Chains A and B, each alone.
Chain A
């Protein structure tokens, strides 16, 4: 018998085993990722230039530390209070070591080689605020139940560190083979674009798949999927931006405009393309997984997941393969052309994604409203009838929190926020249970209800 006292609803479920079957799939996916990383690093070390090879080999340890630290950190929140801190400290130490080692490797062996550690640091610092802004925005679009920061940041870190490491070997091998066998021109460009679309989206999508498999309680629907997918894309875009900026700085400095080239890259990737390129592509993978989360049949689930990946790969491919068909003039009008090119080529995909997102938010809001009403009608006391219209509207929820703030300061604001969050969790749990798409027992819902009632006692009238 377990001696743990769970702070979250009990994880035991009617499933005959201790853990749902999807954990086995997650372990298999993680094993494949680790094997791919090891193989990629060893092959890079043997076959590629000496310095990038060393980078890859030394970087492997950093990736392993970050992966392990991430896993322990994420799972720490499902443990009891007594052991949670211990696991969080372990995760923090591993993540810290991994990040330090990674930065050391990157700075010394890659960016230092081309542009120097100072330039690499400036490029990274320039990309941090924009990426953080992107993460803030995509997290906020989930108006009803915001995803935990720890998962959003983990998703972005995967995109920046693990996904970029996964694609190095595959893309390098493909490109080297294509350049030695194909006719240079649009055919070669198309071939390399297929490689970039497939390898990069699979590497990024793996993170979203793992979140979908392991963190099911925080992966509710299409909106959540879009948020996680976009976070992975933003992380990938961050690392790619730093790499391109430093590389172009090194290339164009002898011509006298290294900073201009780096700045132009920064604008193109971190301002103009922040929500378009990688963010949009990987968000489609998340959308596919989010829709699959709520579909009843396995065949439909598989179709939805494959659809998400196909859309992401096609959107990525179309940019890489056809961007040369929209040349930019070396005139002042070129500045307009750059914006038009992004809007024309990636805009339609982003518009389709926004349509999915808006529909998903509306669908979620209607479902939650229905659950608020049903819970209020049950008379449990967790949701009162007069709270239903407030909980159903993000704007009115904010007003309620602000009223609490004006009466009792920040403490009252946070207490009301916690209560609202717990009520939304309860409604979400009810929704999934009604749709029979949840594997936690009814006791979990009762535990949420008890928590809401406890929180209500702490909230001033």
Chain B
């Protein structure tokens, strides 16, 4: 992998958000459908980041657009994108509904995935590192990354979500956060440094957790007379010679 390749995405093609909002306000339902297609997935992922539960995230994403319709007439663009506003609606809904993530990772931490994340980030030689795309498709990787982002300071996490989670240009992030582009750059690179540390820490936790789980399973198998391993041990040594 080229270290500098494609860490950010491109701009939206097609009509601008301003045009689509104006057309929606004039009663053009297709224009609203375009906005919905453009942003639903991102809003869903923001909701998922906030509440870490797929059903809640689906409800919040759906409700976000209903709320947006109700308030679109009084919305005023600060930049060129509708997304920061949608993101705030989704975040507020998650908070209002008490669906904020408790900070606990809801899936079990997976040791091989954590190892792969660490190997990928650190470029560890001799370790079988999977393709980053394949790694990112694993649910466990997504959870590890979301949990790591959640450990950042609020402004750093917000910047990371907007830049890397939603491919927003720095200019738009600066407008949305009320900062200069230079300040956003600085915020983002500090966030990246902290994110790397957090990801490695999460990977370490996963490894420890996985090791404990493996040990516990092995102990359980060794003491459970019905387990395959226990039966095999008995065969070799007899029931009292473990």
Bind each other: no
